[in-house]
Amino acid sequence: MEMDMNAQETKAGFFQRLKDFSSKLKDGVTKRIKNVQKFGKDDPRRIIHSMKVGVALTLVSLLYYVRPLYISFGVSGMWAILTVVVVFEFTVGGTLSKGLNRGFATLIAGALGVGAVHLARYFGHQGEPIILGILVFSLGAAATFSRFFPRIKQRYDYGALIFILTFSMVAVSGYRTDEILVMAYQRLFTILIGGTICILVSIFVCPVWAGEDLHKMIANNIKKLANYLEGFEGEYFPLSEKISKETNSCVREYKSILTSKGTEDTLANLARWEPGHGRFRLRHPWKKYLKIAGLVRQCAFHFEILNGYVLSNFKAPEEFKSKIQEPIATMSREAGEALKSIAKSIKTMSKDDTASVNAHIDNSKKAIKSLRIALKSSYPETEKDLLEIIPGVTMASILIEVVNCVEKISEAVEEFSSLAHFKENLDPNLSAEIGQHQLLHRGSVKPVLDGDHNEEEDNSSPHVLITIHDEHPPTTTGKNSLGAEKN
Amino acid sequence: MEMDMNAQETKAGFFQRLKDFSSKLKDGVTKRIKNVQKFGKDDPRRIIHSMKVGVALTLVSLLYYVRPLYISFGVSGMWAILTVVVVFEFTVGGTLSKGLNRGFATLIAGALGVGAVHLARYFGHQGEPIILGILVFSLGAAATFSRFFPRIKQRYDYGALIFILTFSMVAVSGYRTDEILVMAYQRLFTILIGGTICILVSIFVCPVWAGEDLHKMIANNIKKLANYLEGFEGEYFPLSEKISKETNSCVREYKSILTSKGTEDTLANLARWEPGHGRFRLRHPWKKYLKIAGLVRQCAFHFEILNGYVLSNFKAPEEFKSKIQEPIATMSREAGEALKSIAKSIKTMSKDDTASVNAHIDNSKKAIKSLRIALKSSYPETEKDLLEIIPGVTMASILIEVVNCVEKISEAVEEFSSLAHFKENLDPNLSAEIGQHQLLHRGSVKPVLDGDHNEEEDNSSPHVLITIHDEHPPTTTGKNSLGAEKN
């Protein structure tokens, strides 16, 4: 009786566990599917790219399925499949770079391989493999060594690989077959077919341009810097009512810039392989993006140090804090606005915002002056006070360096905008004044994060003022203007 | 006559130009050859690697040259050549990762491909290519999509590529040949031969371990930080006689750390594929290196900001400068010494230097206290003076953050040293004291850069002191101790 009960319980327990397991499995699978869906939705170009690879593969399979094609190429058709799989990259630049490298390397190495086989045949049946072995060893080693040179590695790494591959294969199989020329021709031709299909699908079906990605990335990175500066007051003076919870995640965005150099370099390198497209001409100054990116990263380094201060619960006497809060808030806000305008100008590829950028930078420089006055007025009364204000003073100095960084970014983008033929769509009334670099702007001081800034920028023109006495504003580039100038 | 003269002159000019050209060509070629030689000498492992690839290629060619082998494998031998060329990487980890990925992906995709061909045959001669096309499209697209997932991209990217390649080739060529099993078997077997040759040559002929490279890189990066701190006094107080021209290049070395994350991540990823070797066991904590590297980079960010101050000709009143010079010099020197000991302890994988590291950190913390006193005593007499000392104050605050960074690095390395089984070779007289974390050290204050520091470290034991009153030294981690502590 008892054993029966036990057996029944065990059975019930087993079914229960089975049920649990199946529901867990179901949950797990649903969760995973949702993850995959989310991943695809985050960047739908990933799904499109996968489809494109599928299409190219299906197209190239026709070399086998269609009888007349199979008769002409035979099993060499597999080189076309192989080419599609290894050449098709996410960006047009990547596909072009690999395709061209593969094509030319196959051509050169194939010719050399055929030559090597003919040369080796002079040495008789005994000598042939020895000569071929020496040639394969030495050319293989030399080409491998060449791949270490940074210049070759950057642009022709894949070509060198394919060179070794093709040369070895042609030279070695030439020992066993007399139809080496037919083989080389078929291989070259099928690779051309595969490569051409890749390049055509890559360019004409929803292309992903490395250049455009780089362009957007730089603009976004500048936007991230702007977000940090906008959230700056809220981070440092959390008692202020202007803080909003939503900004906190934006504020940390700059961290990705600290280590984005690799991606930028790769994109710039691939962009140089791409033909002119959309707003980008053939000889678009891709290398200049890296210069801007370097300055942007420099700015992000400063944020990282500033951020260390926030994390360490920056404390200062309330009186001192309230004195420096206003100029510091203006400085960071105006520098942030300048960066926003720069990002917008890059994104739209227009010079419309130059005036606004200069105005915001001038405003933040004025705020530096107010900060100097505020600091002077908070002259410490005791030795103890001096030590207490030091973190605040340090923060202020670093922020001044940030303003210098922003100015450098603005200069670099201005230089770049001429090279990249940004369109000028200036209001004719303003253009003359801007030509003389005398445009200043006093935007109405609005609280941080009050919504749509495009509106603010558009409304800013009525506030423009022209100063005569300030033709050469002090150049603070590369110099900490807080202490370097003597009052 | 005149024309004759002209002709002669032209002729002479032509020969002259020819001579010039040939001498220029000779110079150019000699220069280039010297460059290549220098490049090889910089890292002789590059030359050895090229030779190794040559050897592997020659070995694998035997599949063609040796008649019995050629009879068994036929033209499939070319898959072995192809495998050697694409799988052989500079590091053992790279070769293993690619070889294993290629082997397993070929196995799985080959089996699936054979299955797909058998399935398609049920649909008759008309339906077969359609079914095969649908399968190639969908599996190709799915595998391409999977390559976007960071986890797969990091470790199995090459496997996914080979999966698409093999599946497509087996499925498509299965339509035309009935010997598909033989083909799949030959392909798999030759790939195994090629992969095995690569892995054996890679491991047993002068191996280059990614793990060892990573280990050395981290130690070197810490050394670079130490070099900067050692040269710090000379950079900021160039009037001091201790400066030497040679240090200047060392001082800038830290810049490479700012953007070394990509290399570190790659090496750590490859190191996980490597078997235990030398001082590294199989489950060596490779990921911990990345944690240390992150802290090292954080420290380098601070240097980059400090460096901005040097570039901007840091100026301060002489009196103020002379007051802060001594504590700042001690702080940077002691922090530098601590980093040197940490680097040495990583390099030798021993815990011998823990005492010395802690002692140096304690010394630099003491220097922070002296700095606070020096700052208090340089209490500005006028408002103007306050502004003048700001850059110096900022520099001092950042340097204090650097000391905090160094402490964090030391803690991370200590944690790592237990995980990585660093050997303990302590002087038995000292070990008991160190166990209580009470060891302090007052090294004789020597001028910066006075030669061999190993000697200094070895001589330091007689100066060890034990303090009783300071059991819990103030933890300044993540906090700017200059202003946070109230005096």
The interface pTM score, or ipTM, of the predicted complex is 0.79
What residue spans of A312-440 are helical by DSSP H?
318-348, 354-377, 383-419, 428-435
Nearest Cβ partner for B312 among A258, A259, A480: A480
Closest Cα in chain B, distance from residue A93 (Å)? 18
Q: What are the φ/ψ torsions at residue A200 (nearest 5 degrees)?
A: -65, -50
Closest Cα in chain A, distance from residue B465 (Å)? 31
Residue B443: per-residue pLDDT: 37
CB pair distance less than 8 Å for A386 and B376 = yes
CB pair distance less than 8 Å for A176 and B64 = yes
Residue A440: per-residue pLDDT: 40
Higher pLDDT, B291 or B484: B291
Q: The tokens of A205 are what?
A: 């079906």
Residues A123-136 have a mean pLDDT of 89
3-state secondary structure of A340: helix
Distances (CA, A) of B373 to B261, B324, B397, B479, B486: 39, 9, 14, 19, 12
Mean pLDDT check: name the lowest of A51-60, B1-10, B33-42, B431-440: B431-440
Nearest Cβ partner for B145 among A47, A55, A389: A47
Q: What is the pLDDT of residues B354-365, one digit of tens each?
A: 888 889 999 999
- Rounded to whole angstroms, how far apart are CA atoms A246 and A451? 12
Residues A285-296 have a mean pLDDT of 93
CB A191 within 8 A of CB A136: no
Structure letter (DSSP) for residue B446: P
pTM above 0.95, yes or no: no
Q: What is the pLDDT of residues A223-257, one digit of tens each?
A: 999 999 988 887 777 654 444 444 566 778 888 99
Q: What are the φ/ψ torsions at residue B452 (nearest 5 degrees)?
A: -75, 115
Sort B294 into a burial class: Cβ within 10 Å, 0-12 / 13-18 / 19+: middle
Higher pLDDT, B338 or B462: B338
- Rounded to whole angstroms, how far apart are CA atoms A393 and A327? 13
Chain B residue closest in CA terms to A266: B262
CB A423 within 8 A of CB A351: yes
Structure letter (DSSP) for residue B76: G
Structure letter (DSSP) for residue A465: E
Closest Cα in chain A, distance from residue B247 (Å)? 23
Chain A residue closest in CA terms to B89: A144
Residues in a beta bridge with A439: A466
- Rounded to whole angstroms, how far apart are CA atoms B82 and B69? 17
Handedness of CA B414, B419, B425, B426 (dihedral sign): positive
Chain A residue closest in CA terms to B43: A148
Task: Please enumerate in sequence order all residues whose Cβ is within 8 A of that of B68, keeping only pairs 6 or more positions apart, or say none.
Answer: none
Residue A162: per-residue pLDDT: 93
* Average pLDDT across chain A, whole number: 80
Higher pLDDT, B133 or A439: B133
- Rounded to whole angstroms, how far apart are CA atoms A356 and A455? 12
Residues in a beta bridge with A465: A440
Q: What is the pLDDT of residues B439-458, one digit of tens each?
A: 344 333 333 333 333 333 33
Chain A residue closest in CA terms to B66: A129
Q: Most distant CA pair in chain B: distance in Å? A: 107
Asked whether residue B142 carries a pLDDT value surpassing 50, the answer given is yes
Residue B106: how many other CB atoms lie within 10 Å: 26
CB pair distance less than 8 Å for B57 and A164 = yes
CB pair distance less than 8 Å for A64 and B315 = no
CB pair distance less than 8 Å for B262 and A258 = no
Map tokens 């005149």 to a residue: B2
Higher pLDDT, A377 or A64: A64
Residue B2: per-residue pLDDT: 54
Q: What are the φ/ψ torsions at residue A338 (nearest 5 degrees)?
A: -60, -45
CB A299 within 8 A of CB A409: yes
CB pair distance less than 8 Å for B401 and A305 = yes
Chain A residue closest in CA terms to B395: A394
CB pair distance less than 8 Å for B483 and A390 = yes
CB pair distance less than 8 Å for A483 and B389 = yes
**Exposure class string for B269-283: b at 16+ Cβ within 10 A, else e:** bbbbbbeeeeebeee
Chain A residue closest in CA terms to B65: A129
Nearest Cβ partner for B50 among A141, A301, A387: A141
Closest Cα in chain B, distance from residue A13 (Å)? 37
Closest Cα in chain B, distance from residue A447 (Å)? 29
CB B436 within 8 A of CB B263: no
Which of A388, A339, A341, A317 lies closest to A232 in space, CA to CA? A339
Collect all residues of chain A within an 8 Å Cβ-Cβ radius of residue B313. 479, 484
Collect all residues of chain B within an 8 Å Cβ-Cβ radius of residue A316. 483
Higher pLDDT, A443 or B415: B415
Asked whether residue A375 carries a pLDDT value surpassing 90, the answer given is no
Q: The tokens of B428 are what?
A: 């038995």
Which of B359, B458, B343, B478 lies closest to B408 in space, CA to CA? B478
Residues A335-347 have a mean pLDDT of 92
Q: What are the φ/ψ torsions at residue B464 (nearest 5 degrees)?
A: -70, 135
CB B206 within 8 A of CB B45: yes
Residues in a beta bridge with B466: B439
CB pair distance less than 8 Å for A312 and B70 = no
Residue A270: per-residue pLDDT: 93
In degrees, rounded to 5, the angle at the alpha carbon of residue B186 between the alpha carbons of residues B182 and B190 is: 175
Region of residue A211 (left: phi > 0; alpha: psi -120 to 50; beta: else):
alpha
Residues A131-146 have a mean pLDDT of 93
Distances (CA, A) of A334 to A225, A299, A480, B138, B197: 12, 15, 18, 52, 63
Residue B383: per-residue pLDDT: 67
Residue B468: per-residue pLDDT: 35
3-state secondary structure of A45: helix
Map tokens 């033929």 to a residue: A421
Mean pLDDT check: name the lowest of A104-113, B129-138, B382-391: B382-391
CB B305 within 8 A of CB A402: no
Residue A425: per-residue pLDDT: 65
Task: Please enumerate in sequence order all residues whose Cβ is within 8 A of that of B17, keeping only pairs 6 or more positions apart, or say none.
Answer: none
CB pair distance less than 8 Å for B40 and A316 = no
Collect all residues of chain B within an 8 Å Cβ-Cβ radius of residue A142. 50
Half-sphere exposure of B406 (CA within 13 A, CB side): 36
Q: What are the φ/ψ torsions at residue B10 (nearest 5 degrees)?
A: -60, -45
Mean pLDDT check: name the lowest of A190-194, A296-300, B178-182, B407-411: B178-182
Which of A354, A361, A360 lies closest to A425 in space, CA to CA? A354
- Rounded to whole angstroms, how far apart are CA atoms A445 and A486? 29
- Rounded to whole angstroms, how far apart are CA atoms B195 and B173? 24
Map tokens 């900022």 to a residue: B394
Residue B313: per-residue pLDDT: 58
Closest Cα in chain B, distance from residue A23 (Å)? 26
Residue B4: per-residue pLDDT: 62
CB pair distance less than 8 Å for A145 and B50 = yes
Nearest Cβ partner for B397 among A65, A77, A390: A390
- Rounded to whole angstroms, how far apart are CA atoms A421 and A373? 42
Residue B84: per-residue pLDDT: 93
- The pLDDT confidence band at residue A484, using thresholds 50, 70 and 90, is very low
Which of B390, B482, B148, B178 lies closest to A376 in space, CA to CA? B390
CB B94 within 8 A of CB B203: no
- Rounded to whole angstroms, how far apart are CA atoms B119 and B426? 69
Mutation for testing the B interface, residue in A69, A81, A89 having most B CBs under 10 Å: A81
Collect all residues of chain B within an 8 Å Cβ-Cβ radius of residue A379. 380, 383, 386
Asked whether residue B474 carries a pLDDT value surpassing 50, the answer given is no
Collect all residues of chain A within an 8 Å Cβ-Cβ radius of residue B312. 478-480, 484
Residue A449: per-residue pLDDT: 36
Nearest Cβ partner for B391 among A86, A165, A397: A397
CB A80 within 8 A of CB A60: yes
Sort A370 into a burial class: Cβ within 10 Å, 0-12 / 13-18 / 19+: middle
Q: What is the pLDDT of residues B202-231, one digit of tens each?
A: 999 999 999 999 999 999 999 999 999 988
Angle between the A2-42 and A45-65 helix axes, to the nearest 10 degrees?
A: 90
Closest Cα in chain B, distance from residue A98 (Å)? 14
Counting residues of chain A whose pLDDT is more than 90, the rounded percentage is: 38
Task: Please enumerate in sequence order all residues whose Cβ is within 8 A of that of B288, keeping only pairs 6 or more positions apart, or say none.
Answer: B412, B415, B416, B419, B420
- Rounded to whole angstroms, how far apart are CA atoms A34 and A23? 16
Chain A residue closest in CA terms to B86: A161
Collect all residues of chain A within an 8 Å Cβ-Cβ radius of residue B389. 483
Chain B residue closest in CA terms to A312: B479
CB A222 within 8 A of CB A346: yes
CB pair distance less than 8 Å for B168 and A384 = no
Asked whether residue B312 carries a pLDDT value surpassing 60, the answer given is yes
Chain B residue closest in CA terms to A262: B262
Q: What are the φ/ψ torsions at residue A440 (nearest 5 degrees)?
A: -120, 165
Counting one residue from A and one from B, how many pairs have CB atoms under 8 Å apart? 263
Element (H, E) at A466: strand A464-466
